[in-house]
Amino acid sequence: MNIIEFDKAQAKKKLTQGWYGIVDIGLQEKLLIAGDSKTLWGVFLAQEKSKSVPAKLRTWLPFIAWEKNQSWAEKQTPKIKAMWNGKGDMDMTLIGTPFQRSVWKQLLKIPRGKTKTYLDVAKAVKKPRATRAVGTAVGSNPITLLVPCHRVLASNGGLGGFAWGLPVKKRWLNAEGALKASA
């Protein structure tokens, strides 16, 4: 897996054209993916039915000239499926602050079927007192599912939060075998 890292200012200088499309990898939710010919930039839940550029993308990276490219998206589907199943990887561009990117790289180390707490992640990035900041970084992860923010739980054993809702988080964790029957 090759990971390119940019903050938004760097991304604005380096990235101008982006593609997006909607894919179905067999989850209950369809995914809105974004990227270019080299790497994947974003994986979000597809919540809009509009034919125009999804608001999520316009808000996230407003300087990009977005173009729907369903053919590109469909070519990414097998790679996304394989990575979701723990059997592959793909090149990604992480666009965020240095702290966010350090948190997201820790999420990539959490194997399928396992979980960590926000405190575990905070300790891993050498900021053990920054669990709230870690939670904010986890919640702003633009590559949902593949940079597995759903695998981070509250220290008390609860699910914690999730940008796409706790039912989705619980469903994904159950699909990975990461939750005990009592969770």
Q: Distances from the Cα of 76 to the Cαs of 5, 20, 92, in angstroms?
A: 20, 11, 12
Catalytic residue among 11, 149, 153, 168: 149
Three-state DSSP class for residue 94: strand
Q: In what order do the strands lie in the sheet with 3-6?
A: 3-6, 92-95, 40-45, 31-35, 17-23, 65-68
Residue type, 46: A
d(CA 72, CA 86): 22
Dig out the tokens for 173 from the structure. 């964790």
- To the query of whether residue 149 is one of the catalytic residues in this protein, the response is yes
Catalytic residues: 149
